[in-house]
Amino acid sequence: MTPHDTCCNHDSACAAPASSSPPAPRDMSCARTILRIDGMDCPTEEKLIRAKLESFPGVSDLGFDLLARRLAVTHAADALPPVLDALRELGFDPAPESEAGAQGTPAPGGPAVPHREALLLAVAGVAALAAEAVHWTAGNPWLGAAFAVLAIACAGTGTFRKGWIALKNGVLNINALMAIAVTGALAIGEWPEAAMVIVLFGIAELMERLSLERARHAVRGLMELTPATVTLRAADGGWREVPVAQATVGARMRVRPGERIALDGTVVLGESSVNQAPITGESLSVDKASGDPVYAGSINEAGALEIEVTALSGDSTVARIVHAVEEAQSRRAPTQRFVDRFARIYTPVVFALAVLVALVPPLLMQQPWLTWFYRALVLLVIACPCALVISTPVTVVSGLAAAARRGILVKGGVFLENGRQLKAIALDKTGTLTLGRPAVVDFIAFESREVALREAASLASLSDHPVSRAIARFADGKTRSIEPVAMSMLPGRGVVATLDGARRYLGNHRLAEELSVCSAELETQLKAIEAQGRTTSLLIADDRVLAVFAVADTVRESSREAVATLHALGVHTTMLTGDNPLTARSIAAQVGIESVRAELLPADKLSAIEELKSKHGIVGMVGDGINDAPALARADIGFAMGAIGSDTALETADVALMDDDPRKLAEFIQLSRRTAFVLRQNIALALGIKAIFLVLAIFGSATLWMAVFADMGASLLVVANGLRLLNGARARW
């Protein structure tokens, strides 16, 4: 993502209302800038920035990524400097991404809590305890007030400054509410309690920041899979270790056994087994030899490899995964959109309730002013919806990161949450349930097997047809080839050539019938083979059939388990394929697919998805991300199989399965259900705790420091609960 992209998604230059996600590029009237804002940690800051920039001249769109501390601003070409000035007025220090860090690299974390801030908070804590001690021992009240002022000065300066900025901009966030509450407590003489409240608030904010940093690290840790240096061949033929950023496409790198591969590339020398689990989640290592692709972040386990670099660090597969996860955070899940709408109503309502609590009983019921004013202050602290608002993004990003660690790239929170609602999944056959590479599964020779195999291999080498290549692979290493003479292609039927002075054909069932060499007995045999979903290829002399090869697309070993698990989850399965009905039904029977639609064109698959949606509701489609594009686009969730290394699949799919394991479809649904369960838990916790303390505050059973625990404690609770999704990242849910 570049810091400045020309874009426009509007009918007039930058005139559209702001939204939560960046618009798609369309014309040159607007620019899109990615800003790094280190102080933007939670929804409190997001709300403040929205209030300032949503109606700002020249700004048309805002996209927030709190966990990466990034703000995407779509603006008029000359509006960026005023936007930066406006953010500085709010107390932030924004920087365009090109200045904040290297492109394609997650923003550095830095210390979550600066040492000076931690020291001041410690001093404030001691002073607040001293103020409480003076109060409870009936000591000098002026001494207690002095300790309280010291505590507030050390721990509350930042809160009061942020609160004043928020109030100036018409925003009631937690800082504004805390500043009002502490000021009110001081006004009614509750000096020790005011000090303790501001210290507890500071401690709770510190703990919340540390918890959020773990969620940030979950995404940042994906990029940290790749080493910082790489060993490259120098101009003099020697090897030099240099920073990864200095590598160029086409350079030769060396990776010793046990080392991580630093960049995407192609093996040019050596053989080894490579652990790709950090990228694909595969449990077994993959053998690599000359010509095979390797990916940054994977681990070379056995022999030394020399690899030609094919992508720079910012363009590697792991970098694109990180970028996709970061982008996914701006696509808000349905629950998150609901929470945002609820929060906009909740705070003003509770603030109004606090005003009524402060005024109505004393004015209408002759109740004590100080008592009800204090209860109103407690309500102010409870009025902030931080716990509710922060629960959803932390939970969603934890789910996204957990999925990415398992080789499941989810392109947005909306897909992660909606996955639990999948009622049916349509699967393409070739490359999804099967390996997509035909293989000889049976060989019948009516005369010499060795001669038949040698002649068939010689003829198969003349054609690029998938069946011919399968026969050539089957014969490889088993016999020597014969140099064919007078070769001729027979379109739609096969190939003919002269081998050792004799004419031989290699072709399909139709060719045998045209040559009148297909006896009744052979016809019965061929139909029995084809009824199993296999393709027949015959080696034919002028007057007889010499051999029959049965070729079939091999079913993946994991397909049956994948389909069975989907059925156990209550998901209906359908095969959509362009292959013939016999083959389709045979493959479906082998893997346990419930229904089959064969001989489908892309438009037919699109219609099939429409029918499934009308019958079942939420439907997913699994394909290769290119040929099945119309059906993938029409499905509620499109899954791309084997997306590792594929730019197209990473861009077009809603969910990309980075290796070729269909079992991860069920893992995705299980993770989606677990994420939705945690989201519901967090909402119930946040609202439940708020409701309890609202009632306690009105009836006078809650104190200010209890309200701080209710607010910030709930925030910590929901953050910790959301982070539980990361703990199961390596398990099969």
137 φψ region: left (φ > 0), alpha (ψ -120 to 50), beta (else): alpha
Contact 603, 589 (CB under 8 A): no
Question: In what helix (H) or strand (E) does residue 381 lie, and over which residues does it extend?
Answer: helix 369-382
DSSP element (H, E) containing 693: helix 664-698
50 sits in which H/E element = helix 43-53
- Report whether 517 contacts 503 (CB < 8 A): no
Q: Look up residue 339 and give its DSSP letter.
A: H
68/223 Cα distance (integer angstroms):
13
Question: What is the identity of the amino acid at 204?
Answer: A
Q: Could you give the count of Cα atoms lying within 13 Å of 723 in the half-sphere of its Cβ?
A: 18
Residue with tokens 């909306």: 414
> Is 428 an annotated catalytic residue?
yes
Structure tokens at 486: 């007078």
Angle between helices 191-223 and 174-187 (to 10 degrees): 160
Sign, CA torsion 458/461/462/464: positive
Closest CA to 708 of 177, 161, 42: 177
Listed in sequence order, the residues at least 6 apart from 441 whose beta carbon sits closer than 8 Å to its beta carbon are 534, 550, 551, 552, 554
Q: How does strand 229-233 pair with strand 252-255?
A: antiparallel
The SS3 assignment for 157 reads helix
- The percent helix, strand, coil of the chain (3-state, each to 5) is 50, 20, 30
- Fill in the amino acid letter for 698: I
Token pair for 556: 């993946």
Range list of H helices, 137-274: 141-168, 174-187, 191-223
Q: Please, what's the largest Cα pairwise distance for the chain?
A: 119
Q: Which pair of structure tokens corresponds to residue 291?
A: 């010509």
Exactly one of 41, 428, 553, 654 is catalytic; name it: 428
Do 310 and 264 contact (CB within 8 A), yes or no?
yes
Query: Within a 13 Å sphere around the CA of 326, how many CA atoms are in the beta-carbon half?
Result: 27
Q: Which residues, in sequence order, are bridge partners of residue 290?
A: none
Q: What is the DSSP track for 288-316?
A: E-TT-EE-TT-EE-SS-EEEEE-S-GGGS
d(CA 457, CA 708): 79
Catalytic residues: 428
